[in-house]
Structure 1
Amino acid sequence: MITPRNIARHELVGLNGRVVESSDTSHVGIRGRVVEETACTLTFAVEDGGEKTVPKKYTVFEFDLPDAETVRVDGEAIEARPAERVTGV
């Protein structure tokens, strides 16, 4: 089960999230469902039907967990390839 304590070791694709802080202020406020993740970026499906890709570095995200809890995550804590982060390699 995904929790605030273990979110950095879980798959983020499928979660709803938003950018709450970023060194690039044009990214602040981007929100939607995570549809793709790389070592350095998250891609969100946004309301207008498009996609927005945001770097993890220098960015703080909030994610809505399945139990309706919201968790804030520093992008640098999840900056790794998803398979490596999830398995702890």
Structure 2
Amino acid sequence: MNVRPTTLPRHELVGLPVEVRTASNPAFEGISGECVMETTQTLGIESEGRVRQVPKEAAEFAWTLPSGEVVATAGSRLVARPARRTEHRGDSKWR
């Protein structure tokens, strides 16, 4: 299944380029790099030679898809265990 703007929350995010557009903590705004880790509540973004943990709930992210398209996503849509969020069967709020 290809990553599309409408299905981004259902896909693996690790490996995608990402930028923090807005955040409740201004120190996180503007961080950009590759998503290298994901937990239930945070994204690990490798930027400037270090990995920064950014809370999902209080931020908006801009993802660059393999097609080159940039997609903005509210972090609140991504809050969940990655394995649960990427399941493709059954009812899911991430579809």
Same fold (TM over 0.5): yes
The number of equivalent residue pairs is 88
Supply the RMSD in Å over aligned alpha carbons. 1.0
- Cα distance per residue 1:6-38 (max 9 Å; x no partner): 000000000000100111011000110000000
Matches within 5 A, 1:1-89: 1-46=2-47, 48-87=48-87
Secondary structure of the equivalent of 1:87?
coil
Q: Percent identity?
A: 38
What 5-or-longer segments of structure 1 have no aligned partner? none
What 5-or-longer segments of structure 2 have no aligned partner? none
- Cα distance per residue 1:24-77 (max 9 Å; x no partner): 01100011000000010000111x211111000110000000000000000000
Amino acid at match of 2:38: E
Larger Rg: 2
TM-score of the superposed pair, with normalisation by structure 1? 0.95
TM-score of the superposed pair, with normalisation by structure 2? 0.90
